[in-house]
């Protein structure tokens, strides 16, 4: 059995960025009814984009 460990929350920094209104609307539609925040969606999208860039550069 896997041992339970309390997850560590990574440190965060508040960044103010501007999104085109149509992108905001699309993200909000994508997460509607799901247990996901706008921030969590954007963070995951950026994480995937960074991984894709790393793979392309290798």
Q: Which domain holds residue 53?
A: 34-58
Q: How many domains are contained in the chain?
A: 1
Q: What is the pLDDT of residue 9?
A: 78
Q: What is the pLDDT along the chain (58 residues), one digit of tens a residue?
A: 888 878 787 899 999 999 999 999 999 999 999 999 999 999 999 999 999 999 999 9
Output DSSP code: residue 32.
Answer: T
In a domain, 21, yes or no: no
This prediction's pTM: 0.79
In a domain, 42, yes or no: yes
CA distance 25 to 19: 10
In a domain, 4, yes or no: no
């Amino acid at each position: 059995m896997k041992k339970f460990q309390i997850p560590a929350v990574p440190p965060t920094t508040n960044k103010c960025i501007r999104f085109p209104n149509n992108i905001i609307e699309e993200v909000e539609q994508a997460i509607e009814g799901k247990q996901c925040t706008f921030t969590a969606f954007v963070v995951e999208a950026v994480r995937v984009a960074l991984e894709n860039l790393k793979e392309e550069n290798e």
